[in-house]
C-alpha cells in the first residue's frame, strides 16, 4: 500500500503542467497538494484553509458553483494581461474516507475561435504600430501595464512591464509643468476608474513631453477602454505619438489668423451670424465661446465634418452638409450649405470663405459663418409642400376634386389637366351641379341610381353614420365606357363641408383581371421552366461527361504510346479541344447563374471595331475552314470605329451567333456578316447593327419564339449530336439589353436564319475627315465579290482618291495595260486574294511582270491575314491588308504607300515566342500541380521561376531578396496563411524602393469583373485567368519584361488601373 501511495504521488507530481490539491468539504482545509502547487505557493502547508493559501483570491473559484449533488462545475480563470490562462476544475470525491474536493489547475488550451481572435489581435497591433509609435496595454484593476511596442524617444522610457501607477509617475515627471495637473486629472488611476464606471470610452489629450534632447515636444495621448469578455477587470490600451511638427505649424497659423479672427468677431458681435474656424489639413473646427454657448455646441470638433454631423446634423442632410466641406478641400474659395439639426425642424445655413492657403494652393485656414434660417425655411417649405401636395394629388390620383358646402348648398370643383371637364362649371349650386355632372359623366344605364343616391335628402345623415360613401358608375370617354369611383367624406368636425373625389378605376380593374391571368400563366411558365431545367441538368450531365470522357480516354491512350510522338501530339491536341469545350460549358453556366442573381455587370473601356471583329474572325476561322464554309463580311457606312463599351461581352454575342451559324449550317454553306452604323437619338452615341445570315437548317417557328429562354434547344434529330447548353443566346440577349440594344431573329426551317444585333455604343472620337487627303493617288480595286468592290470604292471616294474597279484578274491586267499606254499608271492596286479566275498571288505575279517604274504598288487583301503575309514577299506584294477592310485600315495602308521610304523592307515574319533570359519571376501558388504547370509554361520564355507555397511565404521571399532581384510576381488569390490580396498589400508596404514598382499579376480562376477590380484595388498591375492561355501569358511577359516595358525610377509606383 505504501508503494502504491508513493507511486500515485509520483504520478500526480509529474502530470504535465497540472497542479492538484485536495481540501476537506466541511472546513476547506488542505489535505493534499502536488509539487506544482508547492512551486506556485511556497508557503502552503497541510491543514491550511484554502482561501488563506490563495490570499482570498476566490472571485472565480468553481467551488461557488459545485452545489451539493456530487456533480462538478468547470470554470476558467483567464487574467487579461501578464498571466497565463488556466482551466480550474472542482470535483466532489472521497479522500481517505472523508468528503473532499479535488481541485485541478491546468494551462488553458485555446479553441479555434480563440486562436483566430489572437490572430486578429496581432493584426490590430501591427496596424496600431504604424499609426502610434507607442502602444501599452493596461489593467487598471490589477494596477499593471505591458508595453506592446515603443518607438518614442521620450526621456526616462519605462520598463517593459510594471505597475501602472509607476508608469503614470514616470510620464508626469517628464511633462511640461503647464500640463501636469490636467494630465493627472485625466490619466491617473484614481481618475480613470471612475471615468470607466461612468461609461467613458476614450480620453484624449495633447501635451508637451520632454525628449532625450531635453526639449519639450508636443505629444498626442489616447487612453481607450476595451471590452473584457473574460472577467471584470478594467482593461485599456494607451497610445502615444509625436505631433510636434503639426502642432508648431498650427500655432504659427493661429498667430497669423488671430488678428483676422478678432476683427471678424467684433464685426459679428451684434448680429445673428456666428463665426467658427476650420482647418482643412487637420479636419479641425474651433468654435468661439459666443457661438458654442449660444448653440450648445462643443468648442472643438477634431474630425469635422463627420463628428459634428454625427452629433448635430439630421441624417438625410449629411451628404449636402459634407458637400460644402468637400468643395473647400478641393480648392474652391467659397461654399454654402443648408442643413437641419437632429430634431429635423431647425435649419442652419453655413457660408465658408478660404482665408489662407499653402504653397500648393490647398486651404489651410477657413472661416465659416453660421446663421439660423428656420423661419425662412419653414415658410418656403410650407408653401412648396402645400402646393405640391395639392397638385400632385389631383394630377396623379383624381380626375377632379369637389368641395360641397352643406350650409350654403354650393360647390367648388378643380379638374386635373388630363381630364376633359366637358363644360362642367367649376362652381355653382349643389342640386344643379349634380344633375349637370350626371348628364356629362355618367352613362345612361347608371345615371338613375346615381341621381337617386346623390339627391337623397338624407345623404348628409348617411355620410355622418358611415364616415365615407363610394359610388361606382361607368362614364363614356374616348369611345369606351370607363369605370369611375366617386368618394364622399366630411372635412373637419363641424360637418359643414363634404369632400368629393372622382377617380378612374378602369385600369385598376383591368389590371386585377390581368393579374389573375398572369398568376395562371406564371404557374404554367414555372412548371415549364422547371421541366426545362430538369432536361438541362440531364443534358448537361451528358455534355460535360463527353469532353471529360475524351480527356480521360485520350490521356490513357497517350500514356500507352510513350514512344509514338505523332500519336501523343494528336492526343494532346484533342485533349486541348475537349478542355476548351468543357471550360466554355462551365463559363456559360456561371454567367447564367450571375444573370439570375442580378450580379451580371458590364465594363466600359475604349476599343476599336476593326480589332474586335478581326479577333472574332481569327477565333472562328478554323471552324469555318474545317466545315468548308464561305464567310463574307461587309462593312457599310461605318464612320466611328473607336468606341467605348465592353468588348469581351460584345465578342461573346458575336461568337455565340457565329458559332451557331457554323454548327447549324451543313458543310460548304455561306455565312454573311454585315456591319453598319447609323446616328442615334443621343449625342455622342452610335447605333450599330450587326446582321448575321446563313443558309443553314434554320429553325421552327415554335423554337424561334423561345430561342432566348434558358436551357432551350431545338428538338431535331439533325442537331442532337451538336454539343451546347442552350444558354448562349440567353446570355447574348442579356448583354445586348444591358447595352440598351436588342437581338432580332428571322428564320425558317430548311432556309437558314438571320440575326440582327443592335447595340448603342459611345463614340470615343469624331468621324475622321480625310476628304481629298489622297486626291493625287489613283487606285484600282480588284475583287470578284460585288459587296467588297462597292465598299472599297465608297471608302476611296470618301478619302478623295481617284479609283476604278475590276471584277477579275484578266480585267485588272487589261486596265493596267491601258493606263500605262495612256501614261496614267495606277499608283496602287487593291487585290483580293479570292478572284474568280485566278488567285491573288497569281494575279500579283502577272501584274508585276507588266508594271513599269515600280507602279502600281500591290496590296493583297485576304481573310487569313497571317497566311497571306507568309507568302507575300514571294509575289512582290507591297502590303497585306486584312478583310474586312475598315476605313482606318485603308487609310493607314494608303499613307504607307504615299511614303514608301518610311516603310521600306519586306514583310516581317510571324513573331517568335519572347525570350527573357536572366529575368527572375516569383510565383505564389499553393497547389503543387498548378505551380508545376505554371512554372513549365512560364519557363518556356527563358525566365527563372521561383515558387512560394502561400502568400506569407511569398512576402518573406521577396523581403529576404536584394532590391531588384525579382522582375515580376505572379500571385494566386486563394491561398492559406495569407491570401493574394493581403500578400500584395504586405509587399507594397515593405520599406524598399522595388516594393512599390515590381509588377504583381493576379493569377486566379476568379475571372468576373469585380474579381479583377479587387485585384487592382489590392495593388496588383494585371490579371490572367486560370487555366493559363500561353498566348495571353506571353503577351503579359512581353508587356512587363520586354524592351518596351515601363521601368519606373526607384520608389515610383506602377499604375494599377
**C-alpha cell at position 146:** 505591458
Task: Show the 3-state SS of 66-89.
Answer: CCCCCCCEEEEECCCCCCCCEEEE
C-alpha R_g of the chain? 43
More confident residue, 1041 or 85: 1041
C-alpha distances (whole Å) from 431 to each of 195, 406, 435, 440, 503 are 77, 11, 6, 14, 21
Least confident of 127-136, 228-237, 752-761, 974-983: 127-136
Is residue 431 within 8 A of residue 409, CB to CB? The reply is yes
Is residue 941 within 8 A of residue 913, CB to CB? The reply is yes
**C-alpha cell at position 888:** 482606318
Please tell me the predicted confidence (pLDDT) of residue 495. Answer: 79
Selection from 603, 703, 620 nearest residue 657 by Cα: 620
At residue 119 the predicted structure's pLDDT band, cuts being 50, 70 and 90, is confident
More confident residue, 255 or 444: 444
Mean pLDDT of 665-670: 91
CA distance 580 to 623: 14
Please tell me the predicted confidence (pLDDT) of residue 265. Answer: 60
More confident residue, 271 or 273: 273
CA distance 910 to 473: 82
Please tell me the predicted confidence (pLDDT) of residue 965. Answer: 94
Cis peptide before 856 (omega within 30 of 0): yes
More confident residue, 138 or 70: 138
Mean pLDDT of 288-296: 87
Mean pLDDT of 593-606: 72
Please tell me the predicted confidence (pLDDT) of residue 908. Answer: 42
Q: Using the Cα atoms of residue 72, residue 78, residue 83 and residue 87 in order, give the sign of their dihedral.
A: positive
Please tell me the predicted confidence (pLDDT) of residue 66. Answer: 67
Please tell me the predicted confidence (pLDDT) of residue 68. Answer: 59
Cis peptide before 305 (omega within 30 of 0): yes
Please tell me the predicted confidence (pLDDT) of residue 723. Answer: 58
Is residue 586 pLDDT above 70, yes or no? Answer: yes
3-state helix, strand, coil split of the chain in percent (to 5) is 40, 25, 30
Is residue 750 within 8 A of residue 675, CB to CB? The reply is no
Is residue 271 pLDDT above 80, yes or no? Answer: no
Least confident of 5-19, 165-179, 194-208, 1002-1016: 5-19
At residue 905 the predicted structure's pLDDT band, cuts being 50, 70 and 90, is very low
More confident residue, 581 or 205: 205
Please tell me the predicted confidence (pLDDT) of residue 69. Answer: 55
More confident residue, 570 or 957: 957
Least confident of 55-69, 279-293, 1018-1032: 55-69
State in Å, rounded, how far the first CA of the chain is from the last one: 81
* Host H or E run for residue 898: helix 887-898
Least confident of 372-376, 451-455, 768-772: 768-772
Most confident residue range from 90-99, 147-156, 377-386, 596-605: 90-99
| Percent over 90 (pLDDT), the chain | 24
C-alpha distances (whole Å) from 863 to each of 665, 832, 866, 910 are 20, 9, 9, 16
What are the helix (H) ranges across 359-412?
374-397
Q: How many residues does the chain have?
A: 1057
Please tell me the predicted confidence (pLDDT) of residue 957. Answer: 94
Please tell me the predicted confidence (pLDDT) of residue 1056. Answer: 45
More confident residue, 1054 or 1015: 1015
Is residue 183 pLDDT above 60, yes or no? Answer: yes
Can you list the pairs that 621-625 forms with residues at least 24 positions away whose Cβ atoms lie under 8 Å?
621/863, 621/864, 623/659, 623/662, 624/662, 624/671
Please tell me the predicted confidence (pLDDT) of residue 936. Answer: 85
More confident residue, 373 or 688: 688
CA distance 951 to 52: 53
Is residue 699 pLDDT above 70, yes or no? Answer: yes
Least confident of 701-705, 904-908, 947-951, 1001-1005: 904-908
Is residue 636 pLDDT above 90, yes or no? Answer: no
Selection from 697, 708, 597, 593 nearest residue 653 by Cα: 708
Is residue 432 within 8 A of residue 521, CB to CB? The reply is no
Please tell me the predicted confidence (pLDDT) of residue 198. Answer: 93
For 360: left if phi > 0, alpha if psi spans -120 to 50, otherwise beta; the answer is alpha
Least confident of 106-110, 301-305, 848-852: 106-110
Is residue 902 pLDDT above 50, yes or no? Answer: no
Q: In sequence order, what are the residues at sequence separation of 6 or more whose Cβ sits closer than 8 angstroms to the Cβ of residue 224?
A: 201, 202, 236, 237, 238, 239
Mean pLDDT of 514-528: 78
At residue 7 the predicted structure's pLDDT band, cuts being 50, 70 and 90, is low
Please tell me the predicted confidence (pLDDT) of residue 901. Answer: 38
Please tell me the predicted confidence (pLDDT) of residue 798. Answer: 83
Q: What is the pLDDT of residues 419-440, one digit of tens each?
A: 888 888 888 998 898 999 999 9
* Number of Cβ within a 10 Å radius of residue 10: 11
Q: Using the Cα atoms of residue 396, residue 398, residue 404 and residue 410 in order, give the sign of their dihedral.
A: positive
What domains does the chain contain, in order, with CATH numbers?
Answer: 1-107 (3.30.450.20), 123-242 (3.30.450.20), 260-379 (3.30.450.20), 399-507 (3.30.450.20), 601-763 (3.30.565.10), 778-898 (3.40.50.2300), 920-1041 (3.40.50.2300)
Selection from 776, 736, 774, 771 nearest residue 757 by Cα: 736
Q: In sequence order, what are the residues at sequence separation of 6 or more whose Cβ sits closer than 8 angstroms to the Cβ of residue 741?
A: 757, 758, 759, 760
Rounded to 10°, the helix 647-663/609-626 angle is 20
Mean pLDDT of 298-307: 92
Backbone angles phi, psi at 944, to 5 degrees: -95, 125
Is residue 469 pLDDT above 80, yes or no? Answer: yes
More confident residue, 619 or 988: 988
Can you list the pairs that 407-410 forms with residues at least 24 positions away whose Cβ atoms lie under 8 Å?
407/496
Mean pLDDT of the chain: 81
At residue 688 the predicted structure's pLDDT band, cuts being 50, 70 and 90, is very high
Please tell me the predicted confidence (pLDDT) of residue 327. Answer: 92
Amino acid at each position: 500500500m505504501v508503494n502504491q501511495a508513493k507511486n500515485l504521488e509520483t504520478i500526480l507530481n509529474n502530470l504535465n503542467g497540472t497542479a492538484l490539491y485536495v481540501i476537506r468539504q466541511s472546513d476547506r482545509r488542505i489535505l493534499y497538494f502536488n509539487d506544482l502547487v508547492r512551486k506556485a505557493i511556497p508557503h502552503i502547508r497541510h491543514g491550511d484553509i484554502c482561501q488563506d493559501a490563495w490570499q482570498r483570491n476566490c472571485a472565480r473559484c468553481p467551488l461557488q458553483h459545485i452545489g451539493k449533488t456530487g456533480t462538478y462545475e468547470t470554470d476558467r480563470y483567464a487574467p487579461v494581461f501578464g498571466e497565463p490562462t488556466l482551466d480550474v476544475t472542482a470535483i466532489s470525491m472521497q479522500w481517505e474516507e472523508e468528503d473532499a474536493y479535488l481541485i485541478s489547475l491546468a494551462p488553458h488550451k485555446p479553441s479555434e475561435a480563440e486562436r483566430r481572435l489572437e490572430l486578429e489581435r496581432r493584426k490590430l497591433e501591427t496596424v496600431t504600430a504604424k499609426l502610434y509609435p507607442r502602444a501599452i496595454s493596461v489593467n487598471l484593476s490589477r494596477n499593471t501595464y505591458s508595453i506592446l511596442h515603443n518607438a518614442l524617444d521620450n526621456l526616462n522610457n519605462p520598463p517593459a512591464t510594471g505597475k501602472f501607477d509607476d508608469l503614470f509617475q514616470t510620464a508626469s515627471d517628464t511633462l511640461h509643468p503647464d500640463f501636469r495637473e490636467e494630465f493627472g486629472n485625466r490619466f491617473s488611476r484614481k481618475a480613470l476608474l471612475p471615468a470607466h464606471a461612468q461609461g467613458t470610452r476614450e480620453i484624449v489629450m495633447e501635451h508637451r513631453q520632454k525628449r532625450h534632447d531635453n526639449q519639450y515636444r508636443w505629444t498626442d495621448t489616447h487612453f481607450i477602454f476595451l471590452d473584457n469578455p473574460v472577467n471584470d477587470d478594467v482593461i485599456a490600451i494607451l497610445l502615444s505619438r509625436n505631433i510636434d511638427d503639426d502642432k508648431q505649424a498650427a500655432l504659427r497659423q493661429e498667430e497669423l489668423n488671430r488678428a483676422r479672427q478678432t476683427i471678424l468677431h467684433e464685426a459679428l458681435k451684434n448680429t445673428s451670424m456666428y463665426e467658427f474656424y476650420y482647418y482643412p489639413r487637420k479636419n479641425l473646427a474651433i468654435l468661439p465661446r459666443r457661438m458654442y454657448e449660444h448653440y450648445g455646441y462643443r468648442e472643438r470638433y477634431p474630425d469635422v465634418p463627420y463628428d459634428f454631423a454625427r452629433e448635430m446634423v439630421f441624417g438625410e442632410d449629411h451628404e449636402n452638409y459634407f458637400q460644402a466641406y468637400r468643395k473647400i478641400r478641393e480648392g474652391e474659395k467659397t461654399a454654402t450649405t443648408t442643413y437641419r439639426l437632429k430634431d429635423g425642424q431647425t435649419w442652419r445655413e453655413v457660408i465658408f470663405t478660404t482665408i489662407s492657403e499653402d504653397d500648393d494652393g490647398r486651404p489651410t485656414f477657413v472661416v465659416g459663418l453660421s446663421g439660423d434660417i428656420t423661419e425662412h425655411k419653414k415658410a418656403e417649405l410650407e408653401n412648396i409642400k402645400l402646393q405640391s401636395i395639392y397638385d400632385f394629388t389631383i394630377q396623379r390620383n383624381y380626375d377632379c376634386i369637389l368641395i360641397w358646402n352643406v350650409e350654403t348648398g354650393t360647390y367648388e370643383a378643380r379638374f386635373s389637366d388630363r381630364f376633359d371637364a366637358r363644360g362642367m362649371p367649376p362652381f355653382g349650386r349643389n342640386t344643379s351641379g349634380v344633375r349637370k355632372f350626371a348628364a356629362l359623366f355618367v352613362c345612361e344605364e347608371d345615371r338613375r341610381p346615381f341621381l337617386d343616391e346623390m339627391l337623397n335628402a338624407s345623404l348628409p345623415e348617411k355620410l355622418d353614420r358611415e364616415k365615407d360613401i363610394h359610388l361606382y358608375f361607368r362614364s363614356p370617354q374616348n369611345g369606351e365606357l370607363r369605370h369611375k369611383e366617386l368618394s364622399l367624406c366630411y372635412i373637419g368636425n363641424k360637418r359643414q363641408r363634404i369632400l368629393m373625389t372622382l377617380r378612374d378605376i378602369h385600369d385598376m380593374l383591368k389590371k386585377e383581371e390581368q393579374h389573375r391571368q398572369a398568376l395562371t400563366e406564371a404557374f404554367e411558365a414555372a412548371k415549364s421552366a422547371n421541366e426545362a431545367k430538369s432536361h438541362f441538368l440531364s443534358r448537361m450531365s451528358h455534355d460535360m461527361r463527353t469532353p471529360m470522357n475524351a480527356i480521360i480516354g485520350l490521356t490513357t491512350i497517350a500514356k500507352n504510346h510513350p514512344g509514338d510522338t505523332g500519336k501523343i501530339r494528336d492526343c494532346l491536341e484533342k485533349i486541348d479541344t475537349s478542355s476548351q469545350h468543357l471550360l466554355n460549358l462551365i463559363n456559360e453556366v456561371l454567367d447564367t447563374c450571375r444573370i439570375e442573381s442580378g450580379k451580371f455587370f458590364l465594363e466600359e473601356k475604349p476599343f476599336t471595331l476593326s480589332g474586335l471583329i478581326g479577333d472574332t474572325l481569327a477565333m472562328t476561322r478554323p471552324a469555318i475552314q474545317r466545315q468548308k464554309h464561305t464567310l463574307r463580311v461587309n462593312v457599310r457606312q461605318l464612320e466611328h470605329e473607336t468606341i467605348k463599351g465592353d468588348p469581351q461581352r460584345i465578342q461573346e454575342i458575336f461568337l455565340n451567333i457565329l458559332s451557331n451559324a457554323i454548327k447549324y449550317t451543313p458543310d460548304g454553306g455561306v455565312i454573311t456578316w454585315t456591319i453598319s452604323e447609323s446616328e442615334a437619338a443621343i449625342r455622342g452615341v452610335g447605333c450599330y447593327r450587326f446582321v448575321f445570315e446563313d443558309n443553314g437548317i434554320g429553325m421552327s417557328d415554335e423554337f424561334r419564339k423561345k430561342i432566348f429562354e434558358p436551357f432551350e434547344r431545338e428538338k431535331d434529330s439533325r442537331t442532337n449530336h451538336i454539343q451546347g447548353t442552350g444558354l448562349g443566346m440567353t446570355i447574348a440577349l442579356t448583354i445586348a439589353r444591358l447595352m440598351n440594344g436588342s437581338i432580332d431573329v428571322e428564320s425558317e426551317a430548311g432556309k437558314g436564319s438571320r440575326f440582327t444585333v443592335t447595340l448603342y455604343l459611345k463614340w470615343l472620337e469624331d468621324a475622321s475627315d480625310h476628304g481629298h487627303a489622297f486626291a493625287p493617288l489613283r487606285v484600282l480595286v480588284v475583287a470578284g465579290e460585288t459587296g467588297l468592290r462597292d465598299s472599297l470604292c465608297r471608302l476611296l471616294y470618301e478619302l478623295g482618291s481617284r479609283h476604278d474597279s475590276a471584277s477579275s484578274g484578266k480585267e485588272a491586267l487589261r486596265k493596267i495595260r491601258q493606263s500605262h499606254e495612256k501614261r496614267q499608271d495606277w499608283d496602287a492596286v487593291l487585290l483580293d486574294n479570292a478572284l474568280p479566275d485566278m488567285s491573288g498571288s497569281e494575279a500579283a505575279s502577272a501584274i508585276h511582270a507588266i508594271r513599269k517604274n515600280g507602279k502600281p504598288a500591290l496590296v493583297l487583301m485576304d481573310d487569313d491575314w497571317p497566311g497571306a503575309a507568309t507568302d507575300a514577299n514571294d509575289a512582290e506584294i507591297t502590303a497585306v491588308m486584312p478583310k474586312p477592310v475598315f476605313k482606318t485600315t485603308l487609310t493607314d495602308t494608303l499613307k504607307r504607300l504615299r511614303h514608301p521610304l518610311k516603310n521600306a523592307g519586306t514583310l516581317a515574319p510571324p513573331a517568335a515566342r519572347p525570350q527573357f533570359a536572366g529575368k527572375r519571376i516569383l510565383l505564389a501558388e499553393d497547389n503543387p500541380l498548378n505551380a508545376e504547370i505554371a512554372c513549365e509554361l512560364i519557363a518556356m520564355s527563358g525566365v527563372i521561376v521561383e515558387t512560394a507555397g502561400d502568400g506569407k511565404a511569398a512576402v518573406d521571399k521577396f523581403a529576404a531578396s536584394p532590391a531588384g532581384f525579382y522582375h515580376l510576381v505572379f500571385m494566386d488569390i486563394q491561398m492559406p496563411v495569407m491570401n493574394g490580396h493581403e500578400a500584395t498589400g504586405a509587399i507594397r508596404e515593405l520599406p524598399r524602393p522595388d516594393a512599390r514598382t515590381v509588377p504583381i499579376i493576379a493569377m486566379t480562376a476568379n475571372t468576373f469583373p469585380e474579381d479583377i477590380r479587387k485585384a487592382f484595388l489590392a495593388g496588383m498591375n494585371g490579371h490572367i485567368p486560370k487555366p493559363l492561355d500561353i498566348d495571353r501569358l506571353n503577351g503579359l511577359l512581353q508587356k512587363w519584361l520586354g524592351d518596351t516595358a515601363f521601368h519606373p525610377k526607384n520608389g515610383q509606383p506602377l499604375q494599377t488601373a
